[in-house]
Chains A and B, each alone.
Chain A
Amino acid sequence: MVNSNDSAGSAHELPMRMAKGDERALAEFYDRFANLSYSLAYQIVGNDADAQEVVGDVFAQIWSSAASFDPARASVASWVSMITRSRGLDRLRSQNRRARVVELAMETGGSEETVIPMSPGEDAADRVEALDLRARIGRELAQLPPNQRQVIELAFYGGLTHSEIAAHLSQPLGTVKTRLRTAMTKLRDTLAAYQFLE
């Protein structure tokens, strides 16, 4: 089992070192977080070529703005994730494309059968700082009712707002809001129980 405290501690040092121009810190940072970034980018853009471009943008941004990383506001993994999500959604918008998760929902008229298959947890991403965390997240997401998972996926991977989700799923706006809030709160509480959250 990964000792996430130790690895998180040293991961926090990397942005500071990068901000001072330490290229070895960048390489180390890449080795830790490239798989996380690539997996998420692929999930959003849906193909290898675009996912690689997104990862390139993400690390260029991380390198050039490492000084802006604030450990009080987010963990390093969250920072990488949110930058990856933004650059991935930017790339889709620049191509006038929709995220894969949104296409799936549209093709099936918003059926809940289209939720994304979860990672089994044990995988090649052994350099990601929290291997066991991936399994936990996968498990917690899998335990959400499909209709709650779907709204979270459309918001996170698809970049859709409440009313866009409601339109895509042909569901009342209030229902979408409630599902999203319920699911996020459930995840927060269970993840906090794992002491993932500080």
Chain B
Amino acid sequence: MNGDHSWTEFAASYALDALDPEDRAAFESHLAGCPDCRAQVASYREVAGALALGAPALEAPAALRARVLAQARGVRPITSRQPLPAGDRRAWLATAAALVLALALGALYLAERSEHDDVLASSAEAHLKLAAAQERLAANDSMISALLAPDVQTAVLASEGRPPSARLFHNRERNLVVVTVFDLAPAAAGRTYQVWGIAGTQAVSIGTFNTQPNRSAVLTFRVPLGARYQVSAITDEPAGGSPQPTTRPFLSGGWSAP
């Protein structure tokens, strides 16, 4: 208990997901170090969960059961020891793994040749792009501080050296992932892009997005407390996103160590 009660006013609204972005970012950074507020949030979360029971009670249509169960079974539970179904999911995880390996080898190569002009040039270019992204976001303190915090993890998502590219920043203190994307045409009508975080063989949706007509996007997604990703990938999905990837990732890359 830190005796600072000004924050407890935020707990109820935070549990309802009703804080405006600036308040939310401020509260989340406070929350990390305040067990008292975390307990408050937990108690209000149960109230929020109970509010579901305030909706007029309806009976789910009988035909929905078979459809939902069949749909759910198309996706294996994450910790299942059963083999993954053959097909896209295996293929895209293999793609992701191969890309991570390639990136790791590439990083070794770059480290050995760090004096090389090409490397300096591409590094400078990356910094320029990042600087440009940060400049565009200058109005958003929350995002900037999420990007610049000392313990932020990063992931560079690439597709075999060609555009598009994406850079991800995971601020684990604030549970935010900032995504910058370049040289990516806006998704087709009825489609969206979806960012995935992968740990082991588990792919978890981080969020969906679309790019601007200038083929870039900068976004902030909230992720669960304690989320850890080894790999991230971006796929093209039906509008609204998918519970699990349905297409092969066109961008993929590994996260830096914490």
Binding site for B on A (CB under 8 A): 18-21, 23, 26-27, 30-31, 34-40, 42-43, 48, 52, 55-57, 59-68, 73-75, 77-82, 84-85, 90-91, 94-95, 116-119, 123-125, 128, 130, 133-134, 137-138, 141, 152, 155-157, 159-163, 165, 177, 180-181, 184-185, 187-188, 191-192, 196-197
Total contacts A to B, CB within 8 angstroms?
231
Binding site for A on B (CB under 8 A): 9, 12-13, 15-21, 23, 42-61, 64-65, 67-69, 71-82, 192, 202, 204, 208, 224, 239-241, 243-244
Contact call B56/A196, Cβ cutoff below 8 A: no
Nearest A residue (CB) for B71: A56
Nearest B residue (CB) for A197: B46
CB contacts (< 8 Å) of A23 on chain B: these are: 69, 73
A133 and B12 alpha carbons, distance in the complex (Å): 21
A108 and B57 alpha carbons, distance in the complex (Å): 25
Name the one of A27, A81, A116 contacting B52, with C-beta atoms under 8 angstroms.
Answer: A81
A121 and B121 alpha carbons, distance in the complex (Å): 67
| SS of A interface (majority) | helix
Name the one of B16, B20, B55 contacting A43, with C-beta atoms under 8 angstroms.
Answer: B55
A159 and B254 alpha carbons, distance in the complex (Å): 33
Contact call A20/B51, Cβ cutoff below 8 A: no
Contact call A78/B60, Cβ cutoff below 8 A: no
Contact call B77/A117, Cβ cutoff below 8 A: no
Contact call B19/A161, Cβ cutoff below 8 A: yes
Name the one of A116, A165, A197 contacting B18, with C-beta atoms under 8 angstroms.
Answer: A165
CB contacts (< 8 Å) of B204 on chain A: these are: 65
Contact call B54/A21, Cβ cutoff below 8 A: no
Nearest A residue (CB) for B64: A52
| B83 → A minimal CB distance (Å) | 11
CB contacts (< 8 Å) of B79 on chain A: these are: 19-20, 67
Name the one of A64, A95, A116, A191 contacting B50, with C-beta atoms under 8 angstroms.
Answer: A191
Minimum-distance CB pairs A-B, first 8: A78-B49, A94-B240, A81-B52, A184-B12, A43-B55, A38-B60, A123-B57, A21-B80
Q: Which of A119, A141, A160, A188 neighbours the largest number of chain B CB atoms within 10 Å of its CB?
A: A188
Contact flag A67-B60 (CB < 8 Å), given A156-B48, A160-B18, A177-B13: no
Contact call A56/B12, Cβ cutoff below 8 A: no
Name the one of B17, B57, B64, B82 contacting A55, with C-beta atoms under 8 angstroms.
Answer: B64
